[in-house]
Amino acid sequence: MILRVGLISAAHVHTPSYAHNFSANPRAEIVGLWDDDLTRGTEFAEKRAIPFFSELSELLAVCDAVAISSENTKHLAHIETAANAGKHIICEKPVVVRQADFDKVRAAVEGNNVKFMTAFPCRFSPAYQSLKQRVRSGELGEIKAINATNRGQCPKMWFIQPELSGGGAMIDHVVHVADLLRDLLGEEPNRVEGQIGSNVYGGKDWDDTAMVTLDYPGGVFATLDSSWSRPSSFRTWGDVTLKVVGTEGVLNVNLFDQSLQHYKNDRSKSYVDQGYGSDLDGAMMGAFVDACLDNAEIPVTLEDGLAAARVSLRAYESLGPKVA
């Protein structure tokens, strides 16, 4: 049996990965793309020989599941439409950008009995899974503190339009590590405090610098730098790192450090990383396909996605009413 997947929007920088990995999966096929931006959608579809649908209802009529990679503030409408059509959903993060929309998403997904997966590929990292196993085994003793990062380059486009993104670096990058911390510690933070600034690009109405401090009920203290602070010459797009400090030792993990160092005779960029590591996106989408076809449990749920989004929103709220 083959899972027929429809792509909802080509807005996100991750949309090419959905197109590639679902096409490469022997149990799935891409049946088409719909986008409310006709130019963007047709260009993306033509480049990859994917059928383009001018009406979302027509795409939903021929697919079993959808990958939603539209602008953040459009997720709710697209989730509701797909769920009401009975389609399984994998959705980009953050799932939604307003606390008031949490129950609406739950109602759409649960009311239509469709599977929903939040797109958190970091969960599928062998490096993270090894870290999690060693922490759970007690090797580090009692966990006291975690220093984490998810810094990256600014993606520009609609990501820097708050009316479409819901914010800036904090809404974009906090959620990945917030999810890892919740999965690792088994609890949500009881205190979230954020600090933001427009320091890298200067004086904008969106944040490129985002620092978050989190306290957990079990006593763990965590810090997270989720700034868009990596220069265009940085060796990778970004970095997801965790330094876990326990009473019996410290473990450092870099989820994207499986690479070869390549120095080129090129004036524009003399050094790049040639990655050879695990395909996290492929593993994530493979798990989604298997869950849909085999009726297996979704490994990263809607509630996981909402819990991570809640951390970003609480961080913004901690700044006061002017930022909310």
Same domain? For 128 and 212 the reply is yes
Q: Is the pLDDT of residue 8 over 60?
A: yes
Q: Is residue 110 part of a domain?
A: yes
Neighbours of 24 (CB within 10 A): 12
What's the average model confidence in pLDDT over 156-160?
92
Q: Is residue 303 part of a domain?
A: no
Which residues form the domain of 42? 3-114
Same domain? For 172 and 105 the reply is no
114, 132, 159 — which closes off a domain? 114
pLDDT tens profile 285-321: 999 999 999 999 999 999 999 999 999 999 999 998 7
Same domain? For 152 and 271 the reply is yes
Closest CA to 101 of 319, 305, 315, 299: 305
Same domain? For 165 and 269 the reply is yes
Instruction: Evaluate whether 167 touches 312 at the Cβ level (below 8 Å).
Output: yes
Domain count, the chain: 2
Q: Is the pLDDT of residue 324 over 50?
A: no
Tokens 């970091």 correspond to 122
Q: Is residue 284 part of a domain?
A: no
Residues contacting 303, CB < 8 A, separation 6+: none
**Alpha-carbon distance 315 to 28, whole Å?**
38
- pLDDT at res. 199: 85
What's the chain's average pLDDT? 92
**Alpha-carbon distance 178 to 193, whole Å?**
13
Q: Is residue 186 part of a domain?
A: yes
Q: Is residue 8 part of a domain?
A: yes
How far apart, in Å, are the Cα atoms of 15 and each of 40, 69, 101, 161, 259? 12, 6, 24, 19, 23
Same domain? For 138 and 248 the reply is yes
114, 131, 163 — which closes off a domain? 114
Same domain? For 149 and 265 the reply is yes
Q: Measured between alpha carbons, how far apart are the two ends of the chain, in Å? A: 46
pLDDT tens profile 260-284: 776 676 666 666 666 666 789 999 9
- pLDDT at res. 277: 66
Q: Which residues pair with 169 in a beta bridge?
A: none
Same domain? For 151 and 63 the reply is no
**Alpha-carbon distance 98 to 300, whole Å?**
20
Same domain? For 73 and 204 the reply is no
Same domain? For 97 and 183 the reply is no
Same domain? For 14 and 86 the reply is yes
Q: Is the pLDDT of residue 323 over 80?
A: no
pLDDT tens profile 75-108: 999 999 999 999 999 999 999 999 999 999 999 9
- Higher-pLDDT residue of 160, 256: 160
Closest CA to 171 of 16, 310, 67: 310
What's the pLDDT band for 26 if we cut at 50, 70, 90?
very high
- Angle subtended at Cα 49 by Cα 48 and Cα 50, rounded to the nearest 5 degrees: 90
- pLDDT at res. 270: 64
**CATH code at position 168:** 3.30.360.10
Same domain? For 88 and 34 the reply is yes
196 phi/psi in degrees, rounded to 5: -135, 165
What's the pLDDT band for 157 if we cut at 50, 70, 90?
very high
Kind of pairing, strands 143-152 and 238-246? antiparallel
**CATH code at position 38:** 3.40.50.720
pLDDT tens profile 175-234: 999 999 999 999 999 999 999 998 888 778 889 999 999 999 999 999 999 998 877 767
Confidence (pTM): 0.92
**Alpha-carbon distance 123 to 204, whole Å?**
32
DSSP single-letter state for residue 49: T
